[in-house]
Amino acid sequence: MKFHISRQSLYLLILSLVLLLFVLLFAFIFLIPKGKEYRIERLEMKKYRVEKMQYQQYHDETFEKLKRLQSDHKRVITAYDAMFNAKRFVKLNKDYFVSLLLKPLERIADEDDFIVYEVNTTSRIDSPQSFYNFLDGINKSEWIVEVNFPIHFERDDKYIRSSFTMHVYNKKQ
């Protein structure tokens, strides 16, 4: 029995075998090694994705904490930006004292982000309770003020004369 194949079929068969050989070589030379690399990179990508989710969660928690602290300490943050005004300070705190005298601001130091001024204060009060109310008022004021100890109290007829120094912190411009 004679097996007869036409020339076109033979060319088609050879071309098919060459293409099959090309596909097999391409698969073994390029695809399979790249497939191994792909699996390794896919595992690394999963690790990175887990890390990213952890960092995102940490970021979200920290951001929430920041917003909560900003809302809880809004007064302190605004005090950080407020410039000290001696006349306004006397006006706001004159209710605590019979008389309140501030000596001019004296720049004493630069600390990190602040300029520190020292204010010598002399006042007359009618009771120690008004001085404590003054200290509470300073804590709620619009400036960052530190009352330094010692505070000197002297009896002067029916009033008490007090003298103390305060440090006023202003933000550097």
Q: What is the pLDDT of residues 116-169, one digit of tens each?
A: 666 666 666 777 777 777 778 777 777 777 777 777 777 777 777 777 777 777
CA distance 126 to 148: 21
The ranges assigned to domains in the chain are: 1-72, 84-171
DSSP code of residue 94: G
CATH architecture of the domain formed by 84-171: 2-Layer Sandwich (3.30)
Give the pLDDT confidence of 36-94 residue by residue, as tens digits.
888 899 999 999 999 999 999 999 999 999 999 988 888 877 777 777 776 777 777 76
CA distance 53 to 55: 5
